[in-house]
Structure 1
Amino acid sequence: MPEQIIHTHELPNGLTVVIEPMSDVQSAAFCFLIPGGSAFDPAEHGGTAAALTDWITRGAGDLDSRDLSNALDNLGVQRNESTGLNHLAFTAATLGENVPAALSLYADIIRRPQLSDEEFEGAIAGIEQSLRAIEDEPQRKLMIELRRRCYDAPWGLPTEGSLEELARITAKSVRAHYDRCLRPNGAILGIAGCVDIQEMLALVSEAFGDWGTKPDSSMVTGPRGERIGHIHHDSTQTHIGIAYDAIEYAHPDYYKAWAAVGILSGGMSARLFTEVRERRGLCYSVSASLNSLKHEGRVLCYAGTTVERAQETFDVTLRELQRLGDGIESHELERCKARAKSSLIMQQESTTSRATSIARDWHFLKRVQTLDDIRRDIDELTVSGVLDYVHQHPARDFTVLTIGPNPLKVEEA
């Protein structure tokens, strides 16, 4: 892989800028992580940060919503806004030569949003539609509720809140969230692609250097939901969610944990797909993923099946999770490594992926992993090392949630 140059600079107001020039591309991307995510929503007002994420882009500086969209489109900006637990995330990609103009527009969005009453209802309507759609998407509903039950609040709460909470949110309360939470200290800007380091630092300093700091925001904490549960839903299908403890992204054994989950659910040759779906034909979908917060992690599993086969699907899936510690074949680990290396090569070619990755790394690690660092960590994985991790962090103390007409018998959780 080409040598990576990664430059990190912190402005006096606490905004961290991480820049990775990529000499073999013409595009560039940036990813802003701004403090003020859903973990900081006021009590019983879940969805406040999500409303702000939409509303904040509906007019900024001297441009109304339509003119702002046109300005970004005229620069060829491919953009995305999302609400995380810790941050509001703004990602934009365009030609390298258009980055200065794009950054200027995002300075207005982040620092000088109009937040007009006329645009507020549109932002709320979009969240309402998304929340109502959950009732027609049982798999999505299951995973949202599973997180609520396996993490303490606010970390397990859905970023969009609920319909009941949405009804309490007002333009005034969202503006208060903006005034209280969004700040440069703790914010991260990742930039990757066809850019010059010194030019970018000068642009960012000019656009954000005089942004005033604010105190850290407080959050409302609370307990998680019930560990074993069922949500009744008249259907011919049963949806099964299983969660258990894992480790966080910053943990030294993270890639061992990643490999363990990859052996379970890293493609159509992985154990869950092979044993639960292919050989036994028990379900139409089964998967597991490693989910990480800053200080803790979980493995989240899903299986979708018919009512008649739901109990056996659950039993077999649980058994596969537990028997991972009985042994791992070398070819299973090598397959995980090959998939990871393919992903690294594709990430090397994407400025958006790199901008997002370096911003995320700084949030979780306070440093940036180069692609060579990651490749080395993956190459050094061994069967015995992954097994040691599985034995130290076995699949047990499960959180189990099902959606369907009948609850399942959950003995081993």
Structure 2
Amino acid sequence: MSDHVHVHRFENGLVLLAEPMDWVESAAFTWLLPAGCGHDPADQLGLAGFTCEMVQRGCGPWSSREFVERLDNLGIVRSAGVSLAHTRFGAAMPRARLGDALEVYSQLVLTPHLPAGQVEESRQACIHDIQSLQDAPAQQLMQALRQQHYPEPLGRSSQGTLEGIDIIGHPQLTQFHQSHYHPDGSILAVAGNIEWDELRDHVGSLLDQWQGPADHFPSPAETAGEDLHISHPSSQTHIGIAFDAIPYSHPDYFQLRGAIGVLSDGMSSRLFTEVRENRGLCYAVQASCFSLKDRGSVMAYAGTTSERAQETLDVTLEQLTLLGKGIEPDELERVQARIKSALIMQQESSSSRSGSMTSDWYYLERVHSLEELNKVLDDLTCESINTFLAENPPDNFRIVTLGEQPLEFSHAVS
């Protein structure tokens, strides 16, 4: 199994990462561009996502239909999306098609057509995406939780708002592409059955004329939001809880990850056992680490009936607070096994590996090897995690609920 990641930074600022996986027959890449929704103007929320939709409607020598046919003919499984900091394109294919796939996506990034005649069609796709949240209350709740917990623009949704999408026109889309689809700040990670020298030279030939500096990310506001209840006619209540934590880049991140694993990883976790299994309070409960570049949080979710919502909130907060008192050896052993299993499974997927490499580089400017991660996990002890929890206990909870009736927030941020 490979433990070597190649790194090359081109003169224009683009970082190319590659990890050979000669036991697979596939290749995959993840391409992050510094064009996230954090750059959306305040009155044009959704511009990054709208632009991402439009750049996939033809590029270089291919019309919109020809572009899709080209990808299908190459057997490419693809994805695209927008986060706070980046626009992301992902593609997986048979290894022999990697060079062709990189050529197509290089044209997408450098020379998209952005056809004016398809702006309204793209707008409707963005509007439909926003309106679909009405049928996904759990997703709606977690978006609201991020918006309330983080100061603007850090809690933004990449989908934007109906008002923002409505006023975006072709000039704004063109300007966003020209201003943010730049090499400086871009990360291209490739994993699979590849030859490094050939890959580096090919990417260089495709992108050596690409120029443009990375924009500075907007400074966040000084204050975040408040606790919130969203009125929603339903027999269900959705509960979101957040508290500040360390980001992925922090040296103690895996102490936090181990603790939250005890809280929420699997059917033996504390939340599942105490909130769902023993008391039967809810149909879903979980918590996970959420990281931005320079700050992090833990975000928890519970879905329950209106009648049991207050007790669900109270017991979930109780379990979050009790975590600060420490974990037990058997709990740590289960979490270590689960995380290691996930890492091993990731190594079987070139797509997953390319995605994790871009994430590592963005947060750390280096890439964790599997061996390094295994050692970090093996080195976790109850003593190290409990020391971390004693110094960083879960507290100052931000709470957002969605349902018919508001709940009492006795443990919220003071």
Kept in 2: contact 1:42–1:219 (CA 8 A)? no
Question: Deviation at 1:3?
Answer: 3.5
Q: Deviations over 1:320-359 (max 9, x none)?
A: 0000122311111110100111111111110001111111
Aligned positions of 1:323-342 closer than 5 A: 323-342=322-341
1:92 matched to 2:65? The reply is no
Report what 1:187 is aligned to.
Answer: 186
Report what 1:246 is aligned to.
Answer: 245
For residues 237 and 52 of structure 1, what CA distance do their matches in structure 2 show? 36
Paired letter, 1:235: S
Aligned positions of 1:288-327 closer than 5 A: 288-327=287-326
For residues 132 and 76 of structure 2, what CA distance do their matches in structure 1 show? 29
Q: Deviations over 1:154-199 (max 9, x none)?
A: 1101111111111121121111111111100111100111110000
For residues 240 and 260 of structure 2, what CA distance do their matches in structure 1 show? 15
Q: Deviations over 1:69-114 (max 9, x none)?
A: 1111111100000101111101101011110011000010000000
Q: Go from structure 1 to structure 2 and tell me whether the alpha carbon gap of 1:220 and 1:179 turns closer, same or farther (over 3 Å shift).
A: farther
1:23 matched to 2:22? The reply is yes
1:285 matched to 2:302? The reply is no
Number of equivalences: 412
Kept in 2: contact 1:337–1:379 (CA 8 A)? yes
Question: Deviation at 1:26?
Answer: 1.0
Report what 2:33 is aligned to.
Answer: 34
Task: Look up the SS of the partner of 1:36 in the other structure.
Answer: coil
For residues 219 and 376 of structure 2, what CA distance do their matches in structure 1 show? 37
For residues 71 and 108 of structure 1, what CA distance do their matches in structure 2 show? 12
Report what 2:12 is aligned to.
Answer: 13
Kept in 1: contact 2:45–2:164 (CA 8 A)? yes
For residues 372 and 77 of structure 1, what CA distance do their matches in structure 2 show? 30
Q: Deviations over 1:295-326 (max 9, x none)?
A: 10010011111111111110000000000122
Paired letter, 1:222: A
Task: Look up the SS of the partner of 1:19 in the other structure.
Answer: strand
1:273 matched to 2:272? The reply is yes
Task: Look up the SS of the partner of 2:135 in the other structure.
Answer: coil
Report what 1:58 is aligned to.
Answer: 57
Q: Deviations over 1:188-212 (max 9, x none)?
A: 1001111100000111000001111
Aligned residues: CA RMSD: 1.2
Give me the TM-score of the superposition, normalised by structure 2: 0.97
1:407 matched to 2:406? The reply is yes
Kept in 1: contact 2:34–2:181 (CA 8 A)? yes
Aligned positions of 1:174-213 closer than 5 A: 174-213=173-212
Paired letter, 2:267: M
Question: Deviation at 1:218?
Answer: 5.1
Report what 2:114 is aligned to.
Answer: 115
Paired letter, 2:309: A
Report what 2:372 is aligned to.
Answer: 373
Paired letter, 1:41: D
For residues 224 and 116 of structure 1, what CA distance do their matches in structure 2 show? 40
Question: Deviation at 1:213?
Answer: 2.1
Paired letter, 1:45: Q
Kept in 2: contact 1:227–1:398 (CA 8 A)? no
Kept in 2: contact 1:27–1:93 (CA 8 A)? yes
Question: Deviation at 1:220?
Answer: 6.4
Question: Deviation at 1:219?
Answer: 2.7
Kept in 2: contact 1:41–1:219 (CA 8 A)? no
For residues 221 and 4 of structure 1, what CA distance do their matches in structure 2 show? 37
For residues 76 and 229 of structure 1, what CA distance do their matches in structure 2 show? 46
Report what 1:356 is aligned to.
Answer: 355
Where in structure 2 are there 5+ consecutive unaligned residues?
none
Kept in 2: contact 1:256–1:381 (CA 8 A)? yes
Paired letter, 2:273: T
Task: Look up the SS of the partner of 1:326 in the other structure.
Answer: coil
Task: Look up the SS of the partner of 2:284 in the other structure.
Answer: strand
Give the 4+ runs in structure 1 shifted more than 6 A.
Answer: none
Q: Percent of aligned pairs with the same residue? A: 41
Task: Look up the SS of the partner of 2:167 in the other structure.
Answer: coil
Paired letter, 2:129: S
Kept in 2: contact 1:38–1:47 (CA 8 A)? yes
